[in-house]
Structures are given as structure tokens and as C-alpha cells.
Chains A and B, each alone.
Chain A
Amino acid sequence: MTTQLNSENIATIIQKHISSSDYYFENNTVVVDPSQMITICQVLKTTPGIELDYLSSITAVDYLDYFELVYLFYSIVHNHCLTMKVRCPDKKNPSLPSITSLYNGANFQEREIYDLFGISFTSHPKLNRIFLWEGFHGHPLRKDYESDS
């Protein structure tokens, strides 16, 4: 059974690297400030005993006041998982750091989120629309999207 990583366990590891104001826990889900997410991913990927080396999925959600991205990581070696959430309150020009340099599997998923939610990812190698065509107006999965037709 893929076990959920314990929040206290994770807290002892990440508090050495980032200040406690940049993260908190909601039922074993770590909610991270966007500025620190690369550091956290780096730490969780390389710390022995944690080694979250597999990015399973990224889900973006439009919660009207903010965008939320849900990252699900596994460790293939230890068979445990962790859910990380990042919130992006800027709805006008949403932007988050890209984790493609750490996880190649994030490449297409970040492009998909850029395409359908309009969230841009800084330092992504090639951020363009993945499903819809260039020149498509708007981002359909946003709650305020209205189609032209």
C-alpha cells in the first residue's frame, strides 16, 4: 500500500531549509509558498529516506479567489507519497516557478495548465499551448471563461 508521508516527518526535514512561515500542513498535505516550492521539491527529491523521485500528476484548480496547484509525488523506492499544494493568488497575471528542471514529467503538465488555465511557469523550457491552437482566445478551464460561440 502506498503510504501517505507523515506531516511531522516532513516538517522536521523542511524546517531546516525554509522558514516556518512559508509552509503549513492540512491533513498530511503540505501547502507551500510559491517562492519556496523549488527548494522544497529539491529537498524532498534528494533527502535519503524520502526520495520523492516520481511526479505523478499536477492538477490545477480555479477557486475564484486564487488558483491552486496540487502536486502528487511518489517515491518508487520507498513506496510512499506526498501531496503538495501551491496557491497563486494573483489572478490577473498568475505565475509560478516551473519544476521541469527537476521532474521532466512536469513539462507537458505545466504546458497543459498554461494552455487551459493561463498560469505561466517561469523558466519552463518551452511554454506554449499544448492542446489548443496558438491564437485561441482565453483559457477554458477558468471558471470565468466564456466561449465566443
Chain B
Amino acid sequence: MVILSERTMKVTHSTDSVFINLGPVHPSTHGVFRMRAHVDGEVITEIEPIFGYLHRGIEKLAEGKSYRQIIPLTDRLDYVSSMTNNLAYCMAVEKLAGIEVPERAVYIRVIMSELQRILSHLLGIGSFFNDMGTFFTPFFYMFVQKEKITDLLEMVSGQRLLYNYMRFGGVSHDLPDTFLPALNRFLREMPAEIDKYEHLLNENEIVLARSKNVGVISREMAINSSVSGPVLRATGVNWDIRKVDPYSYYDLFDFDVPVGTKGDCYDRYRVRIEELRQSLRILEQAISKLPAGRVLNPVPLRFRPPAGEAYSHVESNKGELGFHVISDGSDKPYRLHVRAPSLLNLSALREMLIGWKLADAIIIFGSIDICLGEVDR
């Protein structure tokens, strides 16, 4: 009698390289994204990311619109961080035209972008665990809180996804009376929620086995590949635009920049979780300092900034989001370029994936947390 395991052991395997196509429509790609993978057995030997399925030509569309008409377009870049996109674009145009922003509006902008950061990180972490196989359980714990932020942002803007809230010289409306009590309620209950996530996930055996030391990227490789945001900080690089090049009074806030040590998937998750706490700290300080006054220095509807160029960047939820605006003195930008963190975070994808099994590829890709609306623009 031949024991099956012995028989299989005697077979000398030589596997051909197999080409596998992942996507464009696949639940783990968080949009429309395709990877052409060559695998030897289960191990990835070569991978090529293919994107552009969501390319709407936003940079080209912007050349035909007035400066203010572009604000709604920026909503549609990374559609889970519309507030941050609005902020980055408005800051670039304000820099170009020398527009002052009232103090109250700056604080409101900080509150909005930190709420947006919490929202985006909750979705990023939740879907990362979805990819890992903890199907929708952690995701819905996070979705409950995400829903409360959506309600808050709806209060100020009237929208639940694409807010179109910021304007050159401030924000479109002042905070409604119901906003601050609701935000305070959220801030009171959120720390316990984050503790709950960490209690459930940090030491979970499956999470540790599947994300520790998986998808490691070195500090040097991350810097060389222009990676930014939590992916860069997970490798141990202390680089947060809010600290290194402060905007919107971020230098007046007391917060820490969490960094990782190894640059693996687990570090990226931990950096994001810790950033939730830091965002709560910033929010608390912003509420206590929030001054009274105007929220908008009005700018003419079709205003013409002087000819010239300006680049302005913010620490978006995914990384460094920059807008390069070039004006020829007319009411439309001559050129608008978006420095999209999601696109550049993919630069290191090949190095992260080669040598890992196909099942790990899904997790590694999920841990980068990209938004295809921003990759393709």
C-alpha cells in the first residue's frame, strides 16, 4: 500500500510559470484595478499593475473650467477624502492669488480634514481586514463610527460623500448649532471604540500570522519610490507634512507622528490606528481654540489670479497630496497638476509583492490603502 503523502513527495515537480490576471473587477481591488501576475506555483515572480479604468481626465477638464468650478472636481479624486482634496486645492489657489483666510475658517478646515482622516482610516483599516478574511466583522464596527462622521460632515455641507465645502478664502458655510455638540459626543465615545478595535485585532493570531513581516518595504526603497503617508511612516521615516511643512496652524497643535519599525503590513495597520488617536487629540484642541468671527473672505465668482505658478501640499489620508496650479492671468488655470499619493504609493508595489504568495498579494495591496479615483484621476 502506498501512502499518499509519500507518493506525492517522490514526484519531482517542475512548475511552469503561469500568468494570472487579477481584476480589473475584483472585490479586493477597492475599485477597478488590474494586476498581471506571473506565478511559479503560488509564488509571484513578476507583477505589473495596470490602471486607468477610472481615468476621467480631471487635469484636462480643469483647463476648461473657472477656478471655482474645479473645487467639485477635486472632490472626485480620492472620494473618501473630499474635504482634504478641497483644502489642498484651495490652499494652492490661495497661495497663487495671495488670499487671506479668516482664523475661524482655518480651524474649521482643520476640524474637517481630521474628521476626514478618521473616516478614511476607518475605511482603510476595515477593508484591509476584509481582504485578510475577517469578512465584514471588524469592518462594520468601524462603519458604525464612520457613519457618525458622515452625519457630521453632512451637517456642515449637506452632502454625505462629495462635500464641495471649502472655498477660496474660507469655507462655504459656518458650522450649524448642532455640529459642536454632536462632535463632542463623537469625541467622547471614539477612544473606547479604538480600544475595542485594538483589543479585537492587535493580538489576533490570524492577523499576526498574515500581516507580520509580510509585504516588507525598506526605508530606502520607500523613499526612492516616492511613497508617502502611513506607508512611508510604517518604514520608520518620520515624515508628515503637518509637522515638516506645517500649514493651517498645525504647528500650534500638540500631536505625535506615529512611525513603524519594520515597514510590514502590520506596521501600516498600527500606524493608521495610532493616527486615529492623534486626530482625536487635534480635534479636541481645535474645538477648544475655535475662535469666533467670519468664515469667508469672499472672492469674485470668476476671479483672475495673477500669472504665475504655485505648488501647495497637505498631508492627506493616503500621503502627500499636492496641487500645482499654473495661471496665465485668465479666469481658468493654464495647467493643474495633482500630485496623487495613491498613484505614487503604488510605485513600490512590485518590490512589495515579488516573492510573496498570491494570497498575500491581496493583503499587501489592501494595506497600501489606495483609492482608484485618485490613481487614475
Could you list which residues of chain A lie within 8 angstroms of chain B, going by C-beta atoms?
1-2, 53-57, 59-62, 70, 72, 76, 79, 83, 103-109, 112, 116, 129-133, 140-141
Interface residues of B, dominant DSSP: mixed
Contact B322 A108 (CB under 8 A): no
Q: B346 touches which one: A55, A83, A108 (CB < 8 A)? A: A108
- Enumerate B297-337 residues with CB–CB distance to A below 8 Å: 309, 311, 313, 320, 322, 324, 326, 334-335, 337
Complex interface: stretch among B109-117, B238-246, B269-277: B238-246
CA distance A57 to B59 in the complex (A): 15
**Closest residue of A by beta carbon distance from B340:** A57
- Residue pair A54, B226 in contact (C-beta under 8 Å): yes
> Is B148 an interface residue when CB atoms closer than 8 A count as contact?
no
A-B contact count (CB 8 A): 78
| Residue B94 lies at the interface, judged by CB distance under 8 Å to chain A | no
Query: What is the number of residues of chain B that contact chain A, defined by CB distance less than 8 Å?
Result: 35
**Residues B244 and A140 in contact, CB atoms below 8 Å apart:** no
| Residue contact B225 to A104, C-beta cutoff 8 Å | yes
User: Chain B: residues with CB nearer than 8 A to chain A?
Assistant: 51-52, 55, 57, 59-60, 221, 223-227, 237, 239, 244-246, 309, 311, 313, 320, 322, 324, 326, 334-335, 337, 339, 343-344, 346-348, 376-377
Inter-chain contacts of B51 with A (CB < 8 A): 130-131
- Bound-state Cα–Cα, A83 to B326, Å: 15
In the bound complex, residues from chain B placing their C-beta under 8 Å from that of A53 are: 223-224
| B60 adjacent to A140 (CB under 8 Å) | yes
Q: A103-B226, A105-B226, A140-B60 are in contact. Are A57 and B324 (CB under 8 A)?
A: yes
Q: Cα distance A2–B251 when bound, in Å?
A: 13
- Tell me whether B347 and A107 are in contact (CB under 8 A): yes
Nearest first, the 7 A-B pairs at minimum CB distance are A105-B226, A131-B52, A57-B339, A2-B245, A59-B337, A131-B55, A104-B225
A-B contact pairs, 29 of them (CB 8 A): A1-B245, A54-B223, A55-B226, A56-B226, A56-B320, A60-B337, A61-B326, A62-B335, A72-B322, A79-B244, A103-B226, A104-B221, A104-B225, A104-B226, A104-B347, A104-B348, A105-B224, A105-B225, A105-B226, A105-B344, A106-B226, A116-B59, A129-B52, A130-B51, A131-B51, A131-B377, A133-B52, A141-B60, A141-B335
